[in-house]
Structure 1
Amino acid sequence: MRLPDFEAWAIFAHVVEQRSFSAAARALGLSKATVSKAVSRLEERLGATLFHRTSRTLSLTETGRALAPRAARVLTEGQCAEEDAADAALSPRGLVRLAAPMTFGLERVAPALPDFFARYPDVTVDLHLDDRSVDLVEQGFDVALRIAQLPDSSLRARRLAPIARHTVAAPAYLARHGRPTHPAQLADHRCLSYTNLPTDVWRYTGTDGSEIAIRPQGPLLANSGEALLHSVRAGLGITVLPDFIIDADLAAGRLEAILTEWRWPPIALHLVTPPGMLRPARVTALIDFLAARFSAKT
């Protein structure tokens, strides 16, 4: 299939509008020879003459008159497309697909979106919440927020803020079963496990650099940190959750942090986008908003 010569059609429309090859060339910033060659190229493709040319006059042939309105529409559509794109660059509009972890999306991203829409009322956000990592390219996402230690990949990643994880339990559980002071003692406790981690092993590092790994056992495994929260509040066991899920419970005394001298491997909130440098203005607007909202704080 051979594509239409859109440039030649647009130049033909300009010649018709200007009623002169020379005037069309000046309007387009092209040489008269370039304009003439484009029209000749179009005539050759069509197998028909578009203009009667003499040294003093230029007039449309019957074919030229029939095709001139169509050429004008081609030119107008192209101009409108570029003007719309330029307007969008000044005032972002259109759809942006955003992926985020489930609880972080519910607790932090969704409450922030009204402020974004107040600034950009013509942008629509398709928010996809899932603790599993989506394939941005294959699934067509423009932006993703991820909480992890990110592996090397072709994606573009921007670190926004550290995420602290805490080992916690309800005061009632600790009163009944005792407070562990070393990760090895977790083997004697009921543990509630988050299953979207890369491994089912809990790894701790002490203040002296010593490391220990334990495999938790307990009555509940879930792929949602928020789902674990209800059971740990009820005193069913010990769990490890990020600060944005448990900060309110810690402040209210519903949960207590334990093993505070032992650290988990560091993770952070990242903003991830597909490879490539060019982005629509609507995507850049959302990226800048999220970075400003969540950088160095969660």
Structure 2
Amino acid sequence: MLTSKDIEFFITIAASKSLAAAARKMNVTPPGVSQRLQQIERKLGVTLVERNARSISLTAEGELFARKGQHILTELEDLHQDVSDAKQAIAGDLKIVSPLGLGIYHIGPLIAEFQRLYPAVNVELNLSDAPKWSAHHSPDIMLYIGHLQDSSLKRVVLAKNRRLLLAAPSYIASAPDLNHPGDLAHHRCIALRENDEDATMWRFTHRESAHVTSVRITPVLSSNVGQVTKDWSLAGQGIIQRSQWDVRTELEAGTLTEILPCYQLADADIVALLSSERLRRPGKVTVFLSFLQQQLPARLNAG
């Protein structure tokens, strides 16, 4: 017999370009996805997906299953909401995943304030320098910074965020001239390897001409932890990219200096990601998102 988890699993596949892409979304291996898909097809006695070398397509039966399955999940969610005595109450467990630095300095304190306002909500905050959405242990909300690759998750912008090119005054004083992004080839660059972004491809847009320049750097130092790369730069070891909110204190103190200010790096908005299958959010999620949208920008701007 099919379960709601089987339906959720297949809807994720239906929204993906390939089984490999579906596996990345669910943080499992491609063979695992293929095996479970075969099990569902055996249960139904039909072929749901046509597999090609680099892509997939749904059969007529697969299209029907995805469409009807989405309707069933919606009905189940409606049923849960209708029979719940606490339908409108802001109560229950709330699971949040956040990037490490953002979580320590901003999200953690805001969660404490939120829980004080809504004491019937129990909040669990998990921090990671590479937050991932797990289909098996999915959070209510995952916070994310930067460009999001292929994803079926719902995206809600919480705060705008600029990235800056920075170095310590001690490095600038002893380094070659830097007047154009192409000059980075002669400089010590430090890369932050986070999410699925190409950490060594730095893109610059001239603020007046809007001309875009892409530079492939060769980092002398790299890490998956933002604080480590910032500490290296503070020690005069080279040039970094960092979110403006994360270096506000250093900029004000003069321990880091923005370089190439006439160029703009790609923005890295702070967003909340939610499951695309949940068409009606619980009250606790809606209220928490609203709280973050109101409080987070002011907190980031205040340093």
Shift of 1:267: 2.5
SS at match of 2:125: strand
Q: Which residue of 2 aligns with 1:46?
A: none
Q: Check if 1:164 corresponds to 2:162.
A: yes
CA–CA separation in structure 1 for the residues paired with 2:134 and 2:270: 17
Q: Any stretches of 5+ residues in structure 1 without a counterpart?
A: 2-80
Q: What residue number does 1:13 align with?
A: none
Gaps of 5+ in 2: 2-79
Question: Residue by residue, what CA displacement relative to the aligned partner does 1:166-217 show, whole Å, maximum 9, x if unpaired?
Answer: 1101001111114411111111111111111511211111131222222222
Q: Give the match for residue 205 of structure 1.
A: 205
* Deviations 1:215-269 (CA, angstroms, capped at 9, x unpaired): 2223310112111111111101111111121111001101100001111122311
Distance 1:286 1:259 in 2: 38
Q: 1:93 aligns with which of 91, 94, 99?
A: 91
2 CA distance for matches of 1:136 and 1:295? 28
SS in 2 for 1:180: coil
Q: Which amino acid aligns with 2:205?
A: T
The verdict on how the C-alpha distance between 1:166 and 1:82 changes in structure 2, with shifts beyond 3 A counting, is closer
Deviations 1:95-125 (A, max 9, x none): 1111111111111101212210111112111
- d(CA) in 1 for partners of 2:219 and 2:279? 47
CA contact (8 A) 1:104 1:244 kept: no
Q: What is the letter of the counterpart of residue 202 of structure 1?
A: W
Partner of 1:12: none
Amino acid across the alignment from 1:247: R
**Amino acid in structure 2 at the alignment position of 1:110:** G
Q: TM-score, with normalisation over the residues of structure 2? A: 0.66
Compute the RMSD of aligned alpha carbons: 2.5
In structure 1, C-alpha distance between the alignment counterparts of 2:298 and 2:132, rounded to whole Å: 24
- Secondary structure at the counterpart of residue 213 of structure 1: strand
TM-score (norm 1): 0.67
Would the aligned equivalents of 1:131 and 1:224 in 2 still touch at CA under 8 Å? yes
* Map of 2:253 onto structure 1: 252
Work out the CA distance in 2 between the residues paired with 1:159 and 1:292. 12
Amino acid at match of 1:278: R
Q: Equivalent residue of 1:139, what SS?
A: coil
Larger radius of gyration: 1
Which residue number corresponds to residue 52 of structure 1? none
State how 1:71-110 maps to structure 2 within 5 Å: 85-86=84-85, 88-110=86-108
**SS in structure 2 of the partner of residue 109 of structure 1:** helix
- Whole-angstrom distance in 2 between the partners of 1:151 and 1:218: 23
2:81, 2:87 within 8 Å by CA — same for their partners in 1?
A: no
- Give the Cα–Cα distance (whole angstroms) in 2 for the partners of residues 153 and 237 of structure 1: 34
Rounded Cα–Cα distance in structure 2 between residues aligned with 1:181 and 1:210: 15
Range that drifts further, 252-261 or 138-147: 138-147
Distance 2:297 2:264 in 1: 22
Secondary structure of the corresponding residue to residue 263 of structure 1: strand
Distance 1:260 1:162, change over 3 A: same
Q: After TM superposition, give the deviation of residue 136 of structure 1 in Å.
A: 5.1
- 2: distance between equivalents of 1:145 and 1:135? 10
Once residues 236 and 190 of structure 2 are traced to their aligned partners in structure 1, the CA distance between those partners, rounded to angstroms, is 11
Quickly say closer, same or farther: Cα 1:277–1:218, change in 2 above 3 A: closer
Counterpart code for 1:245: D
Structure 1 CA distance for aligned equivalents of residues 97 and 81 of structure 2: 30
Query: Does the 8 A contact of 1:179 with 1:258 survive in 2?
Result: no
